[in-house]
Each structure stands twice: as C-alpha cells, then as structure tokens.
Structure 1
C-alpha cells in the first residue's frame, strides 16, 4: 500500500505526491536500500510540458532566486554610482521590475506547492478513511482511538501547518545559492565565512534531529494520554460528581499528564530554539566578521566593505528561512512517520482479513430463508483470549430467538461472529445451503440490522433514501420518540435523549433499513415497563408477521413466552436449548 511519502500509484500520482516524496521519514531512510526508479533530477528539470510538473515549480523557484539576487546586484551597482554622485533611472526601473517578478514568482511557488500538497494529503486521507472503513471490527478494535485519530486526522493537520515554511525554506535555499555565488564573486573571504555559518547550522541540526524526534514522540504520547483523561470528564461526569475522592484523583492524574506534556513540549521547543538561536547568532557574527575582522585581514576600501555588508545582510533573510524550514522539516518528518506507520498497520490488518475473505457475490435480502452455524468457534486475539466453541445454531425466516446467559458467557461475541463482524476461527456458516468463507462478504453483513449494547448513534441518517426516511419517521412514531426530535430528520441531535430514547431511535433507524435479520443486544434493558411490554407483545409479533427474523439477547424472564426458541450460553458454549 502506498504511503504519503511514497505517493500514489506511479500512473496516477500528482505533483503533491512527488513533493511529499522529497520529505523522507527516518524509517524510510533506513529501509531504502536501492535508489528509486525515477528519472534523474537533471532530466526532470527539463520536463516543462505539464502545469503540475515538479520541474515547473523548480524553474519558478530558480526565477524567484534569480530576481532576488538581481535586486542585490542592482543595489550594489547603484551604491557605486551614488559614490560617484551619479544616479541611474534605468537601474531603479530594473530594480522595481525584478522586485515585482520576485514577489509574483515567490507567491505563485508557495501557493501552487501548498495547493498541490494539500490535494495530495486530501487524496491520501480519503484513501486511508476508505481502508479503515473496510477493516473488520476486530481490526478496528486493535487500532486504539488515539492511534486512529492521529493516523486519520491529527497528524495531517500538523503536516499541513509545515507546508508554507517548508516551501519558503526551499525557495530561500535556492536564493541562498545564487547570493552565495554573487558574494564569492565580490569577496572569497566572505564566501568562506558564509560556508562556515551554513556548515555549523547544518551540523547543529543533524546533531539535534534524532533527539528532536524522540522528544516529539514523547510529547505526542503524553498528549494522547491527556486526551484519554479528558474523555473521562465527559463520559464519567456523573460518577465524578458523586465522588470527591475520584474527582480529586482524576484531577491529580490530569495535572501529572499536563505537566508531562509541558515538559515534553518544552524540551522540543528548547531543541528548536537552540537550532534557531545558533543559526541567527552565527548569521549576525557573519556580518560582524565582515565589519570588524575582515579589515584587519584584507586591505579593502570602505566602499567595497559596504557592498559586502549589504550582500551579507541580504543573506540573512534566506538563512533565516532555511533555519525555520529545518524546524518545520523535523515536524513534517515526525507527522509523516506516524501517518506511514498507521497506514502500514492498516495494510497489515487488511492483508490478514483478505486472506480469510472470499468473494463478494451479492446475496439478495429477499432470498434469505435459513442460516446455520455448525461447530462454529472463535477466539479473541492472544493466547489467553476468550473463546466460543462448538456453536450449532439454526435461524429461519420469520423466527424469534432469545439468547440468555451470564456476563462474559460469550453472547455478544456470538452475535458479532454471526453477523460477520468477526472472522470465525473454525466451523461453518451456511446461508441457504451455501457455506461462506471465514470472513463473510459484505453482502452477507447487509442481511443484518443490529442494535448492540455499545451502539453508536450517528448525527445524520446516513444511507437512508427517501423511502427509507419515510419508514424511519414511521418507526420513530411507533416507538414514541418522534416528538423528541426536530421537524427535519436530516440532523439527529441526541445529547438530550435518555438511554432508553436513544435505543428507540437506534431501533427505528435499523428498521428503516428493512433488513431481514434483526439482532438486538439487551435492547429492552433501559426501557420503561410500558415500552418493554409493548416491545415484546406487540412490536416483535408485528416484525415476525412482516417476515423478520429476530435474534435477541435478553434476560426478561416475564417475556420468554414471546419467542419461538430460547438458547442459553455458558462459558462460550450453547449449553442448552429450551423450547
């Protein structure tokens, strides 16, 4: 799978992908054993036909650097003329013209580069989102929340913030090369001092880069831990309000985590500050050396020293841009490394899932008649992972099944394997007489509508067409929750709904999809007695009459008579079957 820094497929990669490949991560630098199969840089520089060519941007950067250097040359020429009490209108006009071209070319370079890279990041982000959405539930659970947020959103934002300084730094580096050539032409000694300044700056950055990466990694981990504690404030607000001791302990933990973030970021800032301060100080030392030391070594006229000082002062701008770009380069490398590692993890998960996934032959919902599990087994990851074993089960169209069992007996795990969210480890899933692969296809999962105990309510009714929206509205009214929502159902604010109302909204949503098998995990547990009675004695029979197959986890003993079959689960096995 291509990573951000590697770009998209060679046939479809754009300018942004090629620009991003210019920022290799540390891991790539260590792993790349062979040179990339691409034309040499000199050959690329002559490919000017495309508006999105890397060479075109390179030439624009060269044009900007040429104009910037021309401005310096014209200033020194005018200084000479002024010393002779002369004035050149032509020089002034050329100066203004070069300044305008310099501004336009620099502006175009930065805007075009940023636009191309942002487009590349957008394409990559969309690919990653698609890949993540195609993972199995087990794979998504392996990717912890913070890792997923960083890999899909946070690090892309951090990378975007580095773009303008990085492009400006590259343009500054090219300008620095041009100006250095001019400085050498007027004084070899000043050129030597310039080389010394740049060498010290680069060596200082290289010495600090590994430490910078480690400091940024530590700060990122501390930030992730703090976000987890912040989530506890929102999701554990009730418990915190009821316990001063718990609240104080959480506050202490958050204070400790906040201090760790501050220390990590302070150390990173200190590394950046040392690089920037060293570069800036040496730059000013360069000017001081020209003014105070050079006259002691080289016998020159004051006018020559003035021109050299002007040239060195002009050098300070590009040197500053390069130094700032070094800081942003370290940030970009770190962000790319996190993104690439996340993509590698996603690719690994997808590869493992694809190895047990068969084809995706369409299974029309109306064709469902019978589903059987034979000797099915599944084990959570890890040697000591909980397992369900020797599961034999038959579901027929228009049947109501209840599943009971203690906490941790494997009921929810069974539902997730049954619905194709987890790939089974062994046994068979047979649909209408046809055995399915270990990881059933998407069309199989489309047979199921579910409200799990840890269900999620989306802020919009995604995936519902006009006819489905009419069914959604109908079931909201049937379940007595329509009056809790706005007139328009395009947006679903749920923060003020109770747990029972949220479950009713979730049930209405899945019923609107009209899938043949309804899977419910303790749906009635948070309902009031009237709603619970109506659910078991009216809604379930109605759904059965419409052809739904209903598989419920429940412990409502008073309503066991409402099912066609009741199963009981103990320690990962269906130990008994009660009719």
Structure 2
C-alpha cells in the first residue's frame, strides 16, 4: 500500500506537469481531469490504508512485546527483580513501547515519501538525464551525512534513555517517601535540589545536545535540497543547454520532492529512536528470560506438599554482595526443622536478617549454600512453585491488592464475616470481587491483608511484624485468639515479633543476631 501510494503521488506530479504543458499549448484534454481524480483517489485510499495497517501492526507488536516481558517478569526471581528496579521496568514498558508505537506511522510516512522520491526521480530521468544525475549526487551527499552520523546519534539517544531511567528512580524516592520529606526540610532540599535537579539537568543537557545534532544534520540535508534547486536553475542550463526546454517541468519536480525528501531524511531520526527502544526492550526481555525461574508458560501447580510433616533448612547460607562482588551481609549457616502445625516465633533486632530468612524460607531467595527440603525432598527448580504455594505471607513491606486475585469461589458472607471480625466493617466493604476502600491506617491495612491471606487458605502462615502496627487490644486478639485458632486448624505459623509478653504462645522461639540463627530460651 505504501509503494502504491508513493507511485500514485509521483504519477500525480506527472499528470499535473503534462496537463500544464497541454494547457500552455492550448491542446487541453478533459480526460486528464478524470485521470488526475483517479490517481488522486488511489493516492488517498492507499495512503490511508497503509497508515491504518501500520498502526494495527505496530500496536500488535507492542501488545505482544509487553505481554511477553510481563510474563517473564512475573516468573523472574525476586533478587533479579530487585536488581532491575522499578524505574527500569517502568521506563521500558511505557516510554520505550510508546516510542515504537508513535514512530510507526512516521516511519510508514517516511517510507511512502522515499517511494515517492524514487518514482519522481524516474520521471525526472525521462525529462533530462543530466538533471537526474546531479539530483542523485546531491541527494546522496545529503543523506550519506545522516548515515555516517547515525551510530553517534543512536548512542546519544541511548545515553539519554539511561538518564531518564535514573530520573524515574529518583522520582520514585520522591513519591515513595513523600511523607518523610514533608517532615524534613534538609532531606527535601538534598533530594530535590541536589539529586533530582542534578539528574534532570544532565538529562536536559544530553537531550539538548542530541536534539541540536539531529537538527544540524537535518538542516544540512535540507540546505542541500534547496541548493539542488538553485543548481538546477542556475548551473545545469550552463552545463547542458538541452535542459532549458524542460526546465519548466524540472523545477516544479524538484520543488515537489523537496518536502518528501525532508520527511524521508527526518525518518532516520525516528528510526534511531525506535531502534534504541527496541534494543532496550530486547535487552530487558533477554535478561528476564534468562533469569526466569522455571518456564514463562502458564502451568498447573499441584498441591503436592499440602500434607507435609516438616520443612527442613539444612546448612542454609545467603549473602548480599555489592557491585564489586564484595560481601556486605550474610546469614547462616542455618539448621532448623519446622513441624507442621507448630507456632514459631522469630525475634531479633533490626538488620539481623529476619526478613531475609523469611524470603529464603518461602523460596523467594535461593541460598548460596545449603538446602531447603520438605519431608526430606529437596526444593529445586522443578518443584519450587509447588513449595511456594504452601505459604500465605504478610511482609513488613506488604502490598495490599484491591481485588482478591487468585482466590477461587469467594463467598461474600465469609468476607463480610472477616471484615466484622477484624473490625473493618465500618471502614471498607466488598463488592464485585474487590475491597471498596483502601485508604486506611497501616494497622487497618494489615488487618485487611490478613483477611485476604485467610481467604487464600494456605497451610503455612508467615507474619513479618504483623502485630507491630496494631493497637493493644488487637495485638492481644492476634496472640490470644487468632494464633490458637490457626493452630486448631492445623496451620503452621511463623511470626516475626518483638512482643515478649506473648512468647508463651509459641511452641519454639528462635533468635536472629548478626545473621546467626539459634533457639531462644525464655
């Protein structure tokens, strides 16, 4: 469609030129009006169709890329996700995909312009070969300048994209810590004036330099096109006198192709930006694909471990490393057996490794050494999904979903019963599979997270400082009523806590201290 559109556009030029010459010769034929209309309609219809098909194609590609990347993303490991960071993932799935989407129609238009120029040059060759030769030479010089500097431009665009990722990372700190920076003027000043503004300034400078270079090459090309027109009028007739008789047709032909030539050259910039976006997405997809634990395809997870007797951590060791590979903090070796139906408390100071232990226990982190086993069967890549299905976890930095995703056959009466039980009936409701109100206090949000976890009906419940944000009455209710209820249901409970007055509610207590794990005696 693009090729036909370009051909029709060039044909329209030929028809207009031919009709003009006939009018001058007083031999005008009314059939030329019909021909011009037909060619014009072909041009309009094919260009419109080409643009529509291009849009459909581009949006389909973007949809498929997003779908693949998100599928790999949700199957990648937590450590890899944390290393990638929210900003990079967000930038790739929004800015880069939008770059591809928005560039598609511009690229299609540029191709159509290039096709038009190609056929217009053929028409110019019929008019005069000298004019054709000079046009090709000057156009080649203008375009080759763009090609020569194309890699430099792509590098500049890539660096700008990387800076945008850093900017979004810093912006995440502003939005995520908004309450904190409102209370601390020096923190706000450092974050905004020093960090955010510094990155924004570098981004502005990089984009300004890149845009200036692109503009220079584009203006250089355009200047050559207008120089071509002047050459055709003032120089070519001196070199080839035969041009004079066709100059009235050659000049409007050159004028006719200057705008399409400019559009075709400008497309190189669009292609460069789209190429960088494609490269970024490809890199992200390959990285996620490589680090996805298991397969990205949907699989049916069997509840093979529901009737387990004990979970064993054997010589478990895990360490965090900096970018230079130097160990920053480690926990282990840890040897412990957690029997089904038991209630385990884990205590320890901040930074002692409790939350890291929870990530290892639940299979979110993979140990550097040692094993996690269930009834003697080692947890590996082949059975990690089934193992993870055992756990219902409320992390200290939990995320509260508005809907009960993944919970089948939810009975509204059970949800309302739990809302009443957690004293949230007057704070939020439940409608169409979602909670109606999430703007609650931290303690209330944790109670809502508890409701969602209980409805999942998992065999092992893990609470990371769940009671810390509850008022004294609800804290008492958690230890004296909820934990015994869970035990009576045969559920295994692992709770990170500092509430020593309730230590008698645990079957066993373990203490984390500087990464070491030992049984704690009250």
Decide: shared fold, TM above 0.5: yes
Q: CA deviation at 1:538?
A: 0.9
Query: Secondary structure, in 3 states, of the residue corresponding to 1:109?
Result: helix
Q: CA deviation at 1:478?
A: 1.5
Which of 453, 457, 464 is residue 396 of structure 2 equivalent to?
453
What residue in structure 2 maps to residue 269 of structure 1?
A: 211
Query: Is the Cα contact below 8 Å between 2:62 and 2:97 reproduced in 1?
Result: yes
Q: CA deviation at 1:153?
A: 2.9
What residue in structure 2 maps to residue 573 of structure 1?
A: 516
What residue in structure 2 maps to residue 563 of structure 1?
A: 506
Change beyond 3 A, Cα 1:471–1:366: farther
Matched, 1:294 2:236: yes
Gaps of 5+ in 1: 1-59
What residue in structure 2 maps to residue 100 of structure 1?
A: 41
Map of 1:169-184 to 2, 5 A cutoff?
169-184=110-125
Aligned length: 515
Which of 534, 548, 553 is residue 491 of structure 2 equivalent to?
548
Matched, 1:74 2:25: no
Which of 408, 431, 436 is residue 465 of structure 1 equivalent to?
408
Tell me the alpha carbon deviations over residues 504-528 of structure 1, each in whole angstroms, 9 at most, x when there is no partner: 1111111110001000111111111
Matched, 1:285 2:233: no
TM-score scaled by structure 1?
0.84
Matched, 1:437 2:437: no
Query: Is the Cα contact below 8 Å between 1:422 and 1:439 reproduced in 2?
Result: no
What residue in structure 2 maps to residue 373 of structure 1?
A: 313
Change beyond 3 A, Cα 1:472–1:366: farther
Tell me the alpha carbon deviations over residues 277-307 of structure 1, each in whole angstroms, 9 at most, x when there is no partner: 1222222222222223333333257652111
Query: Is the Cα contact below 8 Å between 2:2 and 2:108 reproduced in 1?
Result: no
Change beyond 3 A, Cα 1:251–1:441: closer
Q: CA deviation at 1:204?
A: 1.8
Map of 1:321-332 to 2, 5 A cutoff?
321-332=263-274
Query: Secondary structure, in 3 states, of the residue corresponding to 1:386?
Result: strand
Mapped partners of 1:241, 1:434: distance in 2:
51
Q: CA deviation at 1:492?
A: 4.3
Change beyond 3 A, Cα 1:200–1:484: farther
Q: CA deviation at 1:541?
A: 1.0
Map of 1:139-158 to 2, 5 A cutoff?
139-158=80-99
Gaps of 5+ in 2: none
What residue in structure 2 maps to residue 410 of structure 1?
A: 353
TM-score scaled by structure 2?
0.92
Mapped partners of 1:247, 1:493: distance in 2:
34
What residue in structure 2 maps to residue 220 of structure 1?
A: 161
Change beyond 3 A, Cα 1:166–1:390: same
Which of 213, 232, 243 is residue 184 of structure 2 equivalent to?
243
Mapped partners of 1:576, 1:523: distance in 2:
21
Query: Is the Cα contact below 8 Å between 2:402 and 2:438 reproduced in 1?
Result: no
Once the two structures are overlaid, the 10-residue window that deviates more, 110-119 or 514-523, is 110-119
Change beyond 3 A, Cα 1:235–1:428: closer
Q: CA deviation at 1:95?
A: 0.8
Query: Is the Cα contact below 8 Å between 1:453 and 1:521 reproduced in 2?
Result: yes
Query: Secondary structure, in 3 states, of the residue corresponding to 1:166?
Result: helix
Q: CA deviation at 1:487?
A: 4.9
Query: Secondary structure, in 3 states, of the residue corresponding to 2:333?
Result: strand
What residue in structure 1 maps to residue 27 of structure 2?
A: 86
Matched, 1:529 2:472: yes
Mapped partners of 1:306, 1:228: distance in 2:
60
Tell me the alpha carbon deviations over residues 258-279 of structure 1, each in whole angstroms, 9 at most, x when there is no partner: 2222211111211221122122
What residue in structure 1 maps to residue 344 of structure 2?
A: 401
Tell me the alpha carbon deviations over residues 114-163 of structure 1, each in whole angstroms, 9 at most, x when there is no partner: 21132122112101111111111112112122222233332111111110
Change beyond 3 A, Cα 1:405–1:331: same
Query: Is the Cα contact below 8 Å between 2:459 and 2:491 reproduced in 1?
Result: yes
Q: CA deviation at 1:404?
A: 0.7
What residue in structure 2 maps to residue 23 of structure 1?
A: none
Tell me the alpha carbon deviations over residues 212-250 of structure 1, each in whole angstroms, 9 at most, x when there is no partner: 223222322332232233223322223322232222223
Query: Is the Cα contact below 8 Å between 2:128 and 2:243 reproduced in 1?
Result: no
Query: Is the Cα contact below 8 Å between 2:314 and 2:372 reproduced in 1?
Result: yes
Query: Is the Cα contact below 8 Å between 2:391 and 2:458 reproduced in 1?
Result: yes
Query: Secondary structure, in 3 states, of the residue corresponding to 2:410?
Result: helix
What residue in structure 1 maps to residue 446 of structure 2?
A: 503
Query: Secondary structure, in 3 states, of the residue corresponding to 2:373?
Result: strand
Query: Is the Cα contact below 8 Å between 1:420 and 1:440 reproduced in 2?
Result: no
What residue in structure 2 maps to residue 335 of structure 1?
A: 277
Map of 1:355-370 to 2, 5 A cutoff?
362-364=302-304, 366-370=306-310
Mapped partners of 2:383, 2:331: distance in 1:
18
Change beyond 3 A, Cα 1:476–1:393: farther
Query: Secondary structure, in 3 states, of the residue corresponding to 2:241?
Result: coil
Which of 514, 517, 535 is residue 457 of structure 2 equivalent to?
514
Which of 187, 192, 195 is residue 136 of structure 2 equivalent to?
195
Mapped partners of 2:276, 2:311: distance in 1:
49
Matched, 1:422 2:362: no
